[in-house]
Amino acid sequence: MKKSIGILVIVLGIVFSLLTTTLAFSAEKVEITYWGIGDDGANIMPKLVKRFNDAHPNIEVKYLIVPLEQGTATKLLTAIAGGNPPDAARLDRTMTVQWGALGSLVPLDEFMKDSGVKREDFYPRALDDCIWNDQVWALPVEADPCAMLFWNKDLFRQVGLNPEKPPKSIEELDELADKLTKRDDRGNFERIGFAPWLHMGFTFWPSGWAFGGEFYDPKTKKVTANDPKIVQAMEWVLSYAKKLDATRVKSFAATYSTAAAINPFIAGRLAMAYDGVWAIGLLKKYAPKLKYGWRTVPGYSKGGRENFFVLGCSVVIPKGSKHPKEAWEFINWLTSGDALRDWCSANSYLPAKIDVADNPIFFRNPDYARMISIMKTIYDSPPVMPAIGVYTSEIQAAQDAVIYFQKTPKQALDDVTTKVQAELNKYLR
């Protein structure tokens, strides 16, 4: 008995002394943690964090790199659910509205008012992506054009097309794609003109928008995946699947993946493709001699429109953060001025804040300058609603089902509409 009391006293003594020392330290500086989910290791972020810490003596930011997942952020989710979240984190913009609607994030409107940050400071759709129930749940960081129509000028020249004249409409795109597709005597592809589900086409959004379709009506809060224009877009995708045989195309393209070093477009095997701003860097690195051009995705001439798919990340303050004010200081700093400019130029991103984008660093590059001016008027992003996780997954599966001839376009899109609407209704209760 005496022995066990003795041990208990010693253990309590150690624990107590540890607690008091940490309490003493925390009284001086507020320590906040920031999770850079998906950040590259050799990146500029550590330097930015140091710059912030030096400029703000009462706040110390601890930076942690967290790996990126596809469609999920399990580490952040479990941290918030477990009551032990970071004070700030980087999160894909399409996820912010769902997470906000679930009550897992801290709304930022009050902070924005106090710091004089106005909604108009950002590209309109960039901030819209983060608003649900008229509350701002995240601050956008970058504006990444991710589905532009790239075309290979060399291949155009080879088949006798004018390399400076990309297709102006979907119909023209179809014509050119046929001219550019080449098979060998066994019927396998040597070159494919275009396939709407390759590269960033796997998301299906750009194809839907090209035919003038809208996937969601924010006024009625109705999912409109089976809108006649979108069904028309899916029929168009199906026509390519019939012409080319999706399995053959997937085998042809399966060697390459969109984010890895080579892809069919860079290898000169795909004449036209939906791809993102990162393709410019990849082309420079892996195919410097390839002459290419890019433009907004052309629209269907009868009722369609050109579109420009822009995505990006944002920063959020998870619910349960013990220092939301200091966290706000950090994320506001990170998404404006010099910090944002340096982060974006180091990673070849474009900033989501208008005054930062109006910087010669970005205008020096003719591609970026074009993108920035396009984004002022044409800017498309996936529907802003909490069921977006299910919507993204379902619409991709629908396109897959159509190109592998498992479902008709109308059937596939009807299923998506029913499912996603049911999911959305849970949030509207």
Q: Which is nearer to other proteins, 133 or 247 (CB)?
A: 247
Structure token digits, residue 87:
């004070």
Q: Which is nearer to other proteins, 207 or 399 (CB)?
A: 399
The pairing of strands 88-92 and 313-316 is antiparallel
Q: Which is nearer to other proteins, 177 or 398 (CB)?
A: 398
Which H/E stretch holds residue 345? Answer: helix 337-347
Cα 226 from Cα 214, distance rounded (Å): 10
**What is the nearest approach in angstroms of other proteins to the Cβ of residue 125?**
23
Neighbour tally for 389: CB within 10 Å: 16
Which segments of 121-257 does DSSP mark as H helices, in order?
A: 124-128, 153-158, 170-180, 205-210, 228-244, 246-254
List contacts with other proteins (CB under 8 A). Answer: 70-72, 74, 77, 80-81, 98, 102-104, 186, 247-248, 250-252, 254-255, 319, 389-390, 393, 397, 400-401, 403-404, 406, 415, 423, 426
Are 8 and 61 in contact, with CB atoms under 8 Å apart? no
**What is the nearest approach in angstroms of other proteins to the Cβ of residue 286?**
16
Q: Which is nearer to other proteins, 186 or 289 (CB)?
A: 186
Q: What is the three-state SS of 361-414?
A: HHHCCHHHHHHHHHHCCCCECCCCCCCHHHHHHHHHHHHHHHHCCCCCHHHHHH
Q: Find where tokens 């009550």 sit.
A: 103
**What is the nearest approach in angstroms of other proteins to the Cβ of residue 404?**
4
Q: What is the DSSP letter of 44?
A: S
Structure token digits, residue 85:
């979240």
Q: Which is nearer to other proteins, 47 or 426 (CB)?
A: 426
Which H/E stretch holds residue 152? Answer: strand 144-152
Q: Which is nearer to other proteins, 59 or 225 (CB)?
A: 225
**What is the nearest approach in angstroms of other proteins to the Cβ of residue 406?**
6
**What is the nearest approach in angstroms of other proteins to the Cβ of residue 18?**
22
Cα 425 from Cα 421, distance rounded (Å): 6
Q: Which is nearer to other proteins, 59 or 95 (CB)?
A: 95
**What is the nearest approach in angstroms of other proteins to the Cβ of residue 69?**
8
Cα 185 from Cα 168, distance rounded (Å): 32
**What is the nearest approach in angstroms of other proteins to the Cβ of residue 234?**
15
**What is the nearest approach in angstroms of other proteins to the Cβ of residue 100?**
10
Q: For the residues of 254-314, what is the DSSP string, one character each?
A: HT--TTSS--TTTTT-BSEEEE-THHHHHHHHH-TT--EEEEPBPBPTTT---B-EEE-EE
**What is the nearest approach in angstroms of other proteins to the Cβ of residue 96?**
14
Q: Which is nearer to other proteins, 267 or 346 (CB)?
A: 267
Contacts of 322 (CB under 8 A, 6+ apart): 87
Q: Which is nearer to other proteins, 250 or 305 (CB)?
A: 250
